[in-house]
Structure 1
Amino acid sequence: MKLYPEFTDRHLAEFERDGYVIIRNFFSEEEVKLIYETSLQDQVIRAHSFDFNDSKGLRTKLALWYTPQDDVYGMYSRSARMLNAAEKIMGGGVGHYHSKLMQKEPKKGGAWEWHQDYGYWYNNGFLYPEMLSIMLALTEANQQNGCMQVLKGSHRMGRVEHNIAGEQVGARMEKVDEALKRHELVYVELQAGDALFFHCNLLHRSDSNNSDNSRWSLISVYNKLSNKPYKDEPASCYTPLQKVEDDMLLKIGAKGIDDAADFLSSEKDKKFKEKIE
């Protein structure tokens, strides 16, 4: 008997057709509570979080790191259910490009403009769109608190040009406007524990958080091992991951990240923005 949800052939077919798929309750209530409460108290995460401003000056806070550690976040990104799904989608072994804790706070959490993740990862030296994001909702995500919006099937457009929008990289609106005429706009509303798998070329955005509730999520990005970048990117993205059993997340307990982890920090922020421009 399987204790955890499995990414099936049906999920794969939906992912390939639509560019995304949702698995409800991919992580249990106990697991999500552990990750969320650990992150709320994690002083290292807080110290290494920084803001991205949207085009209206509202801020979304995030912490981003590359190499997964032996902590609660690393047990998430290296868990069997995550890696089995990523390998099934990619058709081979995967490395860990980065994980990020997204912290969209009540009343002030900013929007994300229309973009494709590969719109800027391509400029970081990845020649092929063999990259995948898995987002775990740590809190409820709905239209009021700025849930993700996607254009269903837009990953089939391939990569489109991107420009700077505020302090973010946004897709060229000429292409987005045409895509909006042809692809269904879906508000990805999630409960804590639900997981969203999405293709790196899927057009997506989110509104600002106008509610009284936070919207937090933990996103891990995987890269196919053969898709080694030709530019200087962290070796974790082309290094095989050490898979751990699913129950390791609860066994590790409320262990936060080490300050020595390879964070994208405020000091590296300028270099990061220069890279994506």
Structure 2
Amino acid sequence: MRLNNLDKKKFVKNFENKGYILIKNFYNKFTAKKIKINLKSFLEKNKLNLKGVNLINKKSKINSAHNLQKWKLLKKIQKDNKIKNIAKILLKGKVKNFGAEVFAKPAKIGLSSPTHQDNFYWNVSNNKGITFWIALNKSNKKNGSIFYYEKSHKLGLIQHVPSFAPGSSQKIDSVNKFKKFKKVYPNLKVGDVLIHHCLIAHGSEKNKSKKDRMGLTLRFIGADSKIDQRKKKKYQKSLYKQKKILN
């Protein structure tokens, strides 16, 4: 995706106004399918040995996986200039990788994700972070698509409380504060990409449909961004307590 100076300004303005942006046909169907097949194969072979994998009940179906560092294809995807250039445009400077996750949300049993802000998990001190959400299946309201409270990133970091939800340990204490914000459920085709700000309030509902809803996320932060260690320790303490109770 190439943007001239005028397009760049419009692109950034749109993103900064809404807190997210949708790019249609970012990957063609062939490339997206190739990524999905490779990722599913990796997860199936390694799901019992990977850290940060959330399985559903006793069916051993993956709902989400939060540590994909050993997936060989990941580095190639992260280094893609098409992705890196957009990240640099939106973060206005050099960027660095901040991990990757997959939200598999299998048909009929895919779990919901409570409303949250990514930076409550990340603890990036200057709130300079974005997520690329790559659709590996069609995604819509019926099969548990991601939802956003449009423009909610302008509220800054909001108080969260423990959620006890697998893969999404924190949630915003009350969604009543979003009554004035438009709640949107973007419809995605395979290969479409959503990019969202680390402060936008978002989540997803259960997948009760007969269709899987897999999304791969890539995270980037500014090269000059630092982690707030005090907030990180507080978050990790909450996470540890939840795991202890759930186990």
TM-score, normalised to structure 2, is 0.83
Q: Matches of 1:23 and 1:215 in 2, distance apart?
A: 18
Q: Counterpart in 2 of 1:21?
A: 21
Which AA in structure 2 matches 1:229?
I
Any idea what the Cα deviations from partners look like across 1:138-179, whole Å, max 9, x if unmatched? 000011110011011000000000001123200110xx2121
User: How far off its partner does 1:92 sit?
Assistant: 0.9
Residue 243 (structure 1) aligns with: none
Q: CA deviation at 1:62?
A: 1.8
Contact 2:68–2:74 (CA under 8 A) maintained in structure 1: no
Q: Secondary structure at the match of 1:36?
A: helix
Provide the residue aligned with 2:101 in structure 1: 100
Partner-residue secondary structure (3-state), 1:215? coil
Matches within 5 A, 1:200-219: 200-219=198-217
| Structure 2 equivalent of residue 274 of structure 1 | 240
CA–CA distance in structure 1, aligned partners of residues 241 and 198 of structure 2: 18
Q: Does 1:90 align with 2:88?
A: no
Q: 1:88 to 1:67 in 2, by over 3 A?
A: farther
Partner of 1:121: 122
Distance in 1 (CA, whole Å) between partners of 2:31 and 2:45 is: 20
1:37-66 Cα distance to aligned partner (Å, 9 max, x none): 11222244533262178xxxxx97222237
Q: CA deviation at 1:231?
A: 3.4
Q: How does 1:1-277 map to 2 (within 5 A)?
A: 5-6=1-2, 8-9=7-8, 10-42=10-42, 43-47=44-48, 48=50, 50-51=53-54, 61-65=63-67, 71-122=72-123, 126-167=124-165, 168-173=169-174, 176-179=175-178, 181-231=179-229, 273-274=239-240
- Structure 2 counterpart of 1:193, one-letter code: G
TM-score (norm. length: structure 1): 0.74
Contact 1:65 1:100 in 2 (8 A): yes
Task: Please say if residues 136 and 193 of structure 1, whose CA atoms lie closer than 8 Å, have aligned partners that are also in contact.
Answer: yes
Give 3-state SS (helix, strand or coil) of 1:65's partner: coil
Aligned residues: 224
The residue type equivalent to 1:177 in the other structure is: N
Gaps of 5+ in 1: 54-58, 233-269
Q: 1: CA distance between counterparts of 2:242 and 2:2? A: 35
Cα separation, 2, equivalents of 1:45 and 1:156: 39
Q: Which range is displaced more, 152-161 or 112-121? A: 112-121
Give the superposed CA RMSD.
2.5
- SS state of the match for residue 144, structure 2? coil
1:142 and 1:275, CA in 2 relative to 1: closer, same or farther beyond 3 A?
same
Work out whether residues 39 and 45 of structure 1, in 8 Å CA contact, stay in contact via their aligned partners in 2.
Answer: no
Match of 2:233 in 1: none
Contact preservation (8 Å) 2:122, 2:227: no
